[in-house]
Structure 1
Amino acid sequence: MHIEVPKLRAHSFREFAVHYLMIVLSILTALGLEQWIERVHHRHAAEYAREQIDSELGGLLRDIQASIQTDETKLAPLIALDKAINDDMAKGLPDAQINQHIRQLSSGFRLSINWPAFTTQAWDVAVANQSATWIEVERLHRYTAAYAAVREAASWTTHNATVTLDAPRMFDMQTRIRLGKDVDPVEFLSVSQQMIVSSKQTIAYLQDASTPIKAALELSGE
C-alpha cells in the first residue's frame, strides 16, 4: 500500500505558524488579563476592608477612652470614701462616729462600671469574604492583635467584671446607709474594696484593649 504525504507549500506553513502563535498569544493575554483583573479586585477589596476596619477600630478606641474616663471619674469619690473610713479606723474612732462619717460621704458609695459595645462587624465581614487575606501582612497582624484584645475585654466585661463583688451584700449595705442605719465599719470597708477592685480591673482591661487598637491605627495615620 502506498501513501503519499501531501506537500505543504511554504507559505501555508507560515500561515499556520502565525495562526498558532496568535492563538497562543490570545490565551496568554487572556490569562494575564484575568490575573490582572483579579489582582485589582483583591486590592480594591483589601482597601475597602481596611477602611471599614479602621473606622470600626477608631470608633471603638474613642468609646473605650470615654468609658475609661467615665469610670475613673465615678470611681474617685468611692476611693475617697474608702480612704476616709480607713483613716477613721486607724485613728480608733468609735463606730458611731465612723458611721456618721459614712453617712456624710454616702453619695460616693456607688458602683458605676461602664464599657462600650465591642463591635467586630467589619473584621468579621473581612474574614468571612476573605478580603482580610489580601491585606498586607504587618497591618493584618496588628488588626488580629487588636481584635483579640477587643474580644478578651468583651469577655471580661460580660463574665468577670463583677466576679469579685458580693452584689447582694453591697445592695444591703447601700440600703442600710440610705435609711440612716449603722453598719459595721469593717464590713463596709470589705464591700467598698470589692467595688473599687471591680472598677479598677475593668478600667485596666479597657486600657489593655486600647493599646493594640492604637498600634493598628498608627499604620493608617489615625
Structure 2
Amino acid sequence: MHVDIPKLPMDSFKDLAKHYLMIVLGILTALGLEAWIEHAHHVSAAADASAQFDQQLRVNLDNIRRSIQRNTATMQKLDSLDAMVTADLQKGVPSAQINQQLRARRDDFKIDIQTPDTPVSAWDVAVANQSVSWIAPSKLSAYSTAYADIRAIGQWRQHGAFLMLDLPQTMNVITDMSKGQDVDPMQFLRVLAQLRGTLHSADSNLVSVQEDLLAALPDQGKSGAQGQ
C-alpha cells in the first residue's frame, strides 16, 4: 500500500494538524478500499464455490435416485422369489418342482447392487483455494455433511458392500442355476436372504445420503419429495 500526500508549507500548528489529518485520512481510505476489495473477492469466490457445489450435488442426487430405483426393482424380484420358495416349502412341494420354477425365473436371481458415481471434485477445489472458508456457516455445514456422506458411499462400496454376503456360496448357486442344475431350496433361501439384506443396507445408506443432499439443495425439496 502506498499513499502520496501532497507537500504543503507548514507555517503553524494548524497547518501541521491539517497535514497530519490528510495523511491519516489517506491511510484509512486506502485500508478501507483494500478491505472492500478483499471482501468482494471473498464474496465472489464463495458464490462461485457454492454454485459448483450445487451443480455437482444435483448430479450426485440424480445418480443416487437412479441407483435407489434400480435396487428397488431388484429387491422386488428377490422378494417375489423368496415368497415363492417359502410358500412351496411350507406346502411340501418337491425340490425338483421348486427347481423347475427357479429355472424359469433364473434371470430374476443375480447380484445387482447399485451404488452411484459420486464425484467430489468441487469440494476438493474449494478446499484447495480456501474459498470454502468464505461460505456462510449455515450453508457450509449443509455442504460439509453432504460431501461427507458422498465420500462414505465410496468407502462403503470398497469395504462394506458385501460383508453380509457369502460370495462363494452365492456364486455357486448362481452358477448351478445358470447351468440348469438343481439347487437346495433352503440354501437358495439363505443366499437370497443375504442378497436382500445387502440390498436393504445399500438403499438405507443411499436414502440417508439423499436426504442430506436435499437439505443442502433447498430448491430440490419439492422435486425431491416427488422423486422418492
Q: TM above 0.5, one fold?
A: yes
Shift of 1:126: 1.4
The number of residue pairs the alignment matches comes to 214
Partners of 1:220 and 1:108 lie apart in 2 by 34
State the Cα distance separating 1:220 from its structure 2 match.
8.2
Shift of 1:134: 1.1
Q: Offset of 1:20 from its aligned partner? A: 1.5
Using the alignment, how far apart are the partners of 2:11 and 2:189 within structure 1?
105
CA RMSD of aligned residues (A): 1.9
The TM-score normalised by the length of structure 1 is 0.90
Q: Is the Cα contact below 8 Å between 2:95 and 2:184 reproduced in 1?
A: yes
**Which aligned segments of 4 or more residues in structure 1 are displaced greater than 6 angstroms?**
219-222
1:156 to 2:156 alignment:
yes
Distance 1:10 1:33 in 2: 29
Q: Distance in 1 between matches of 2:132 and 2:10?
A: 56
Aligned to 1:98: 98
Alpha-carbon spacing, 1:109–1:95, altered in 2? closer, same or farther (3 Å)? same
Report whether the alignment pairs 1:207 with 2:207.
Answer: yes
1:64 counterpart residue number: 64
Residues 45 and 131, structure 2, Cα contact 8 Å, conserved in 1: yes
Q: In 2, Cα distance between the equivalents of 1:21 and 1:189?
A: 89
**1:89 aligned to 2:89?**
yes
Deviations 1:147-201 (A, max 9, x none): 1221222211221111111112111111111222111111111111111111121
Q: Offset of 1:15 from its aligned partner?
A: 2.5
Paired residue type of 1:115: T
Aligned residue identity for 1:84:
M
Normalising by the residue count of structure 2, what TM-score does the alignment of the two structures yield? 0.88
Q: Return 46-55 or 131-140, whichever deviates more.
A: 131-140
Instruction: Summarize the alignment of residues 1-222 of structure 1 with structure 2, pairs less than 5 Å apart.
Output: 11-218=11-218
Distance 1:145 1:121, change over 3 A: same
For residue 104 of structure 1, report the CA deviation from its aligned partner.
Answer: 1.8
Alignment-mate amino acid for residue 206 of structure 1? L
Matched-pair contact (CA < 8 Å) for 2:126–2:132: yes
Contact 2:145 2:212 in 1 (8 A): yes
Counterparts of 1:181 and 1:124, CA distance in 2: 51
Equivalent position of 2:6 in the other structure:
none
Give the stretch that moved more between structures: 147-156 or 28-37: 147-156
Report the alpha carbon displacement of residue 64 of structure 1 after superposing the two structures with TM. 0.4
Contact 1:53 1:123 in 2 (8 A): yes
Query: Which ranges in structure 2 are unaligned for 5 or more consecutive residues?
Result: 1-8, 224-228
1:37-81 CA distances to partner (integer Å, 9 max, x unpaired)? Answer: 111011001000100011111111011001111121233222211
- Asked if 1 retains the 8 angstrom alpha-carbon contact of 2:63 and 2:118, the reply is no
Q: Structure 1: 5+ residue runs without aligned partners?
A: 1-8
| Equivalent AA in structure 2 for residue 44 of structure 1 | S
